[in-house]
Amino acid sequence: MMKNIIKAGVLMCTGMMLLTACNKYLEVDPDNRTTLDTPDKVAQMLTSAYPASDYICFSESMSDNAGDRGHSGDQYSGDLLVNINAYKFIDYASTNPGSPDVYWQGCYQAIAAANQALDAINKAANQTAYKSYKGEALLARAYAHFMLVTFFSKTYDPATAANDPGIPYVLAPEKTINPAYERKTVKYVYEMIEKDLAEGLPLIDNSAYKVPSFHFNKAAANAFAARFYLFKKDYAKALTYSSQVFPGNNFKDNLRPLNTTLSTATRAERKAAFTSPDSKSNLLLATTGSTWARAWLGYQYGLNEAIAGNVFYSGNITKGSLAYNIFYYGSNNNDRGIEKWLENFVYTGPDIGNPYIYVPLFTAEEVLFNHAEASARTGDFNTAMADLNIYYSTRVVSYDPAFNGITLDKVTAYYNKAADPLGATVQAILDVRRSEFMQEGMRWMDILRNKLPLTHIDDKGAVINISADDPRKVLQIPQEAQANGLAPNSR
């Protein structure tokens, strides 16, 4: 009997040893998934740390760049509500690209990727090997939050920022289903952005990137800082950062060659050039799932004859003609546009797939305008005028500095603001921004930052007046986020 007990015992012990061995045995990953255990993998993770959805469609439709084109939208544009509801300032839920909900998603997806990378970096033994990627992750996280707070909260105002509701600032990967998130305040969000920016910017190292134009390179990081401080109304810092983008502030060689090389390009070449990674103007490109390239032309509300005339053909300070190629399409004179967007359709099935565009998140032109505005606002009108002249030298057909060159006097005279040189300069910059960034969605950010009022008239003649402080300027928090506890914006 004893012998049998021993035999049984031996067998059971073998079993117990197997049990302990089991946990090791079960450590194997079930499939080809990866873990972020090398700097190279962290770098790869950060390719998805940029918003993969566009703000162009809704922000362009909300801005005064959009007007009624006199026909209903066509089928090739897909979902038309992304255009119509934005134009009419109607809150709605959507899962279609071009809607605010989907942009919200895209930003938080980018943030999740950045946080996943930061999480891996914090756990890594050798922090220095990850230094530059930590910088990129912090900047990417700051950028996505900045865009969210810009669209979904009240524009930063030092007087009210401590009370205006912000957007959740996410600092770590989500580990459970639907944890609680809170909005806190715009001031808090700006502080967090500034913190990430300050920590991340010095760590950026261009040599760490395989394709720098798709990553927060040194120039793009400084361009972001300049935009951020302009919104924060810290003009000295905006000037500092906008001066660090190009060595020796050589803007001229980095602007789009509209009145030279591109003036003879075919339409297909223009499209390709605008979002090309080879363009020196494109400081940072984001791979963006978007129907904008195919859709903008068919939307009911967009660039029409009246707005095109107003922005491009009603004269400018230089008295020259601008080298923008505004095309109109088909029989309708209202379907105006500029060939900026080249679509890359990635097939997922025989006839279906997803369209992608490559949105320049920061361009040399924007840096130049920010540099000019920050200079003017800190009292340096000479630099502001010099910057504008650099800009016009690449835009005016057959530019002649003697004839086309502008001065502060010409600017104040043009805007009839002799007593307000700053107001005139800012207005001049706003105007070039509007024409330069037509159909890029940037105009809406200018409207927000400068508290501009606007008026939309829909196809039935109904007038929608949006005042300077209209609450509808702030996009509504997506329904699903509200359902999960976020307070809606006031209406």
Partner 1 sequence: MNMDFYRTFRIGNVCMSTKSCVRPAAMAKQLSLVITTAFILVLTANRVATAQQNPVKGGAAFTARDSSIIVSGKVSDEKGNALPGVVVRAANSKKAAVTGSLGEFSIAATPNDRLAFTFIGYAAVVKNVDGSKHLDVIMKQGAKGLNEVIVTGFQEIDKRKFAGASTRLKAEDIRMDGTTDISRALEGKAAGVSIQSVSATFGSAPKVRIRGVTSLTGENKPLWVVDGIALEDVIDVSNDQLSSGDPSTLLASSVAGLNMNDVEDIYILKDAAATSLYGARAMNGVVVINTKKGRSGKMTTNYTGNFSTQLRPSYNNFNIMNSAEQMSVDAEIARKGLFNLADIGNNADKGVYGKMYDRLQTYDPATGKFLLENTQAGRSAYLQRYALANTNWFNVLFRNSLIQEHTISLSGGSEKMQSYFSAGFYNDNGWTVADKVKRFTFNSQNNYTFSDKLSAGLIATGSVRQQEAPGTVARSTDAFYGKMTRDFDINPYNYALNTSRALTAYTDNGDLEYFTRNYAPFNVLNELQNNRLKLSVLDLKLQGNLSYRITKHLRYDFLGAIRYAKTSQEDLVNENSNKAQAYRAAANAVIANANRFLYKDPDNPNAFPQIVLPTGGLYNRNENSLTNYNFRNSLNYTQTFGKHDLNILVGQEVKYANRQNALNTGYGYQYDYGGSVLPNYLVFKQASEANLPYFGMQQTYDRYAAFYATAGYTYNSRYNFTGAVRTDGSNRLGKSPSARWLPTWSLSGAWNLDQENFLKDAGKLNMLKLRASYGLTADLGSATNSAAILKAQNTYRQYARVIESGIQIVDLENADLTWEKQYSLNVGVDAAFFNNRLTTSIDLYRKKGFDLIAGIKTSGIGGQDVRVANYADLSSKGAEVTIGADIIRSMDVGWKTNLTFGYNKNEITNAKNTPIIFDQVKPEGGNKEGYPVSSLFSLKYKGLENNTGIPLFVNEAGEVSRKINLQDIETKYLVYEGPVDPPVTGGFSNTFRYKSLSLNILLTYQAGNKIRLNPVFKSTYSDLDAFPREFLDRWSLSGDQKITNVPSILDALTNYRMTDAYPYNNYNYSSARVADGGFIRVKYVALSYVLPPRMIKNIGLNNLSLTASASNLWLLYSESKLRGQDPEFFNAGGVAQPLQRQLVMSLKVGL
Q: Please list every residue from 229 through 288 that binds partner 1, using CB under 8 A.
A: 266, 268-269, 271-272, 275, 277, 287
- Find the binder of partner 1 among 397, 400, 480, 490 (CB under 8 A): 480
Are 267 and 301 spatial neighbours (Cβ–Cβ below 8 Å)? Answer: no
Is 356 a binder of partner 1 (CB under 8 A)? yes
Output the six-digit token pair for 441.
């969605």
Contact pattern from residue 194 through residue 213 relative to partner 1, giving x for each residue in contact according to CB under 8 A and a dash for the rest: ----------------xx-x
Output the six-digit token pair for 160.
């009210």
- Find the binder of partner 1 among 86, 225, 448, 481 (CB under 8 A): 481
Q: Which is nearer to partner 1, 298 or 302 (CB)?
A: 298
Residues in contact with 25: Cβ distance below 8 Å, sequence separation at least 6, in sequence order: none
Is 457 a binder of partner 1 (CB under 8 A)? no
Q: Is 248 left (phi over 0), alpha (psi -120 to 50) or beta?
A: left
Is 348 a binder of partner 1 (CB under 8 A)? yes
Which range in 169-177, 312-320, 383-391, 444-452 contacts partner 1 by CB under 8 A? 169-177
Q: How far apart are CA 235 and CA 380, in angstroms?
A: 11
46: DSSP letter: G
Closest CA to 70 of 336, 292, 327: 336
Is 485 a binder of partner 1 (CB under 8 A)? yes
Task: Give min distance, CB of 84 to partner 1, in A.
Answer: 14
363: DSSP letter: E
Q: How far apart are CA 271 and CA 477, in angstroms?
A: 34
Q: How far apart are CA 373 and CA 238, in angstroms?
A: 9
Contact pattern from residue 285 through residue 314 relative to partner 1, giving x for each residue in contact according to CB under 8 A and a dash for the rest: --x---------------------------
Q: Which is nearer to partner 1, 49 or 226 (CB)?
A: 49
Give the end-to-end CA distance of the chain in Å, rounded to a whole number: 85
- Find the binder of partner 1 among 2, 20, 25, 126 (CB under 8 A): 25
Q: How far apart are CA 63 and CA 37, in angstroms?
A: 45
Contact pattern from residue 396 through residue 435 relative to partner 1, giving x for each residue in contact according to CB under 8 A and a dash for the rest: ----------------------------------------
Are 231 and 187 spatial neighbours (Cβ–Cβ below 8 Å)? Answer: no
Output the six-digit token pair for 372.
């000019």
Is 23 a binder of partner 1 (CB under 8 A)? yes
Is 44 a binder of partner 1 (CB under 8 A)? yes
Is 177 a binder of partner 1 (CB under 8 A)? yes
Which range in 314-322, 348-356, 428-436, 437-445 contacts partner 1 by CB under 8 A? 348-356
